[in-house]
Amino acid sequence: MSTVPMGSVDNRTDAAELTELARRFFSHDPDMIADPYPFYRKLREYGPAFRFKDRILVGRYDDCRRILTAPTTLQGLAVKGSRFRTAVDLLDEPHQVQLRETFMFYEKRLAGVDGAKHKRLRRLAQNAFTPRVVNDMRSHVEEIVERLLETIRGRTTVEFISDFAFHLPLIVICELLDVPTEDRDKLRAWSCDLGLFVGGEWSSDPLVESTHASVFALREYCLDHFARKRTEETTPLLRALLDGEGDGDRFSEEELVALITQMIFAGHETSTNLIGNSMIALLRDHRDQWNLLVEDPDRATAAVDELLRYTGPTQYIDKLAGEAGRIGDVDIEQWDTVSVFLASSNRDADAFPDGDVLDLTAKRNPHNAFGFGPHHCLGAALARMEAAIVLRVMAQTYPDMVLVDDHIEYHRNHMLRGPAHLEVELGQEVSQ
C-alpha cells in the first residue's frame, strides 16, 4: 500500500482509551455491539488510522473511500494476512489445517479477489445478475411479503425476526437459485455459521470446526445442485450462472460454488439484519420518522438509503495491504489487515452533517453501506428493494406497531450487526 494523503491527525482521543474501546468491540461486548457509534466517533476523532493488535482501523468517510479504491489493497481473507497468521499460531495442527482450508475456499469468492481475476468474475456475475433480473423480482417479492403477512395476521405480538424478517431474503435467494423449499433450512443454518465466522474469533476451536463443516457441506450441496440443474429446467439466473456468457468464458465449478456461497450468505444474512435494524431505528429510536413513513408509504424507497447510512448491517470490511506504506501516521506492513469501518464512515460529520440523526427527508452524500469502488455489493439493488417493500407494507398495514421491549439482544458479531430477536406488538391492522 503506497503512502497516500489522508485526513489530518487529530488525536483528541487518547490512544489508551481507544484501545480499550476497540478491545471491548472485538471481544463482542454486548453494549458495544448494541451501540458501537460512540466508539466510531472516537476512532474518527483520533485520526485517519489506528493500529489495534493485528489490524489497522480506519473510520473516516474520505479515508475509507480511498482505501476501497486503492490499487494496492487486496480484498479477502488471504492466508498471508495478519489476522490469519495471528489466529493460526493459537491453534493446534488439525485446526490450523481446517482454518487454512476454509480461508482458501473463501478466497475464491468474488469478494476474495482483486485485479484482473476480480474483473473477470464480476463480469460473469453481472451478466447473470442483471437489473432486469432484479426488476422482474419486484412483483414476486411483494407476493412473498403478502404470504408472510398471512402467517402473522390475527396475532397480537410476533417475534419479527424469526416469524417474518429472515424468511423474505431466504425465500428470495433460494428461489433465484432454484433451491427446493425443503432445503432452505439447511442453507440458512450454513449461512448462519458463516456469519458467526466472519465476525468471530478465528482462534476458537469450536468456531473453526463448525465453519469448516458448514463451508464444505454447502460446497457439496452446491456441486450436486449444479450437476442436476445443468440438464434440467431452472431459473434464468442460475442458468446464466451455469452457462456463462461473453467470449465463451464461464465459471469453474469452484468459482461458481464460491460465488453462490457469497450470494446465499449476503442475500440472507445482511438483508435480514438490514430489515431488523431499520425497524429498531424507526419504532424505538425515531418514532417521528416512522410516522412520516406511515403518512407516505411511498417514501420507503428513499428511506432505505437513509437507514442504510444510519444503521447499516455491515460494520466493516477487511482489506489486505498489498505492499508496505502508511495511512496517516501509521506504518503499514505488507499483508497487514486494514479494517475499513463503513458504519463509522456513514456517520462522519465531514460527509454527513448531523450524521447521528435519522432523517428520511434529508438529501445526503452517497453512503458506503454497500462498500465503494470495484467491490460495491453486487446484490445492493435487491437488498434495497426487499427492505423498501417490507417497510412500505408494514407501515400501511400496521401503522401502530411498537416494540414490546426497548432492550434489544443483538447477534454476537462485531462485523455484521443485527438483532437476534425483535418482539413487536402489531396493533390494529389497516385493511388495504
- Per-residue confidence (pLDDT) for residue 77, from 0 to 100: 59
Return d(Cα 298, Cα 414) in angstroms, integer: 33
56 DSSP β-pair partners: 51, 338
Average pLDDT over residues 24-42: 96
Residue 6 pLDDT class (50, 70, 90 cuts): low
Average pLDDT over residues 207-236: 91
CB atoms within 10 A of CB 298: 12
Residue 4 pLDDT class (50, 70, 90 cuts): very low
- Per-residue confidence (pLDDT) for residue 424, from 0 to 100: 97
Per the prediction, the chain carries an average pLDDT of 89
Report pLDDT digits (tens) over 55-96.
999 999 999 999 998 877 766 656 677 877 888 888 889 998
Domains delineated in the chain = 15-425 (1.10.630.10)
pLDDT at 9 over 60: no
pLDDT at 10 over 70: no
Phi (first) and psi of residue 410, to 5 degrees: -100, 155
How many Cα atoms within 13 Å fall on the side-chain side of residue 83? 25
Return d(Cα 61, Cα 340) in angstroms, integer: 10
- Per-residue confidence (pLDDT) for residue 135, from 0 to 100: 86
Report pLDDT digits (tens) over 359-416.
999 999 999 999 998 888 888 999 999 999 999 999 999 999 999 999 999 999 999 9
Average pLDDT over residues 106-124: 77
Least confident of 40-44, 111-115, 217-221, 333-337: 111-115
